[in-house]
Amino acid sequence: MSRSNAGPVTIIIDTREQEGYSFDPRLAATLRRALPAGDYSVAGLEGMVAVERKALDDFVSTVIHSRERFRNELRKLAGYRAACIVVEAGVPDVLLHRYRGDAHPNAVLGSALSIILDFRIPVFFCSSRQAACQFVQAYLLAAHARWSK
């Protein structure tokens, strides 16, 4: 992936993110500080680019039991130029109910579709934590290449 000539990329990791990703240090530096929304962003683009990371159990709990609080976060993210939700699991994990709780898989998928359609925020099911980390890195580097000055 090519990068912009705008200088080195610094990925911001929100201070509340407890299990932060480790990105390739040859491609990006990291810095921890509070973000207005999301768990990850790019230095200089914090108000326009964000990624919200969710483990599958957390995603299910959030969209089923903490829906109103999460909708407030989604409203913020909807105003961004580029924002997404990254789930560290695949759709088959949802369909096979590989998460805690009694939420029906259709309710979980319906909630993901609601986020996509109602807020225009894509939800990426990235099959594993490792795949999600690579996706987030690529997403943020691509945003940096497009919009950093």
pLDDT digits (tens, 9 = 90+) for 28-68: 999 999 999 999 999 999 999 999 999 999 999 999 999 88
Q: Of 107, 117, 136, whose CA–CA distance to 38 is shortest?
A: 136
**The total number of residues written for the chain in this structure:** 149
Query: Which pLDDT score, from 0 to 100, does residue 8 have?
Result: 77
CATH of domain 10-147: 3.40.50.10130
Q: Which residues of the chain have pLDDT under 50?
A: 1-6
Domain boundaries, given as residue ranges, for the chain? 10-147
DSSP string, 50-111: EEEEE-HHHHHHHHHHSHHHHHHHHHHHHTSSEEEEEESS-HHHHHTT-SSSS--HHHHHHH
Query: Which pLDDT score, from 0 to 100, does residue 7 have?
Result: 58
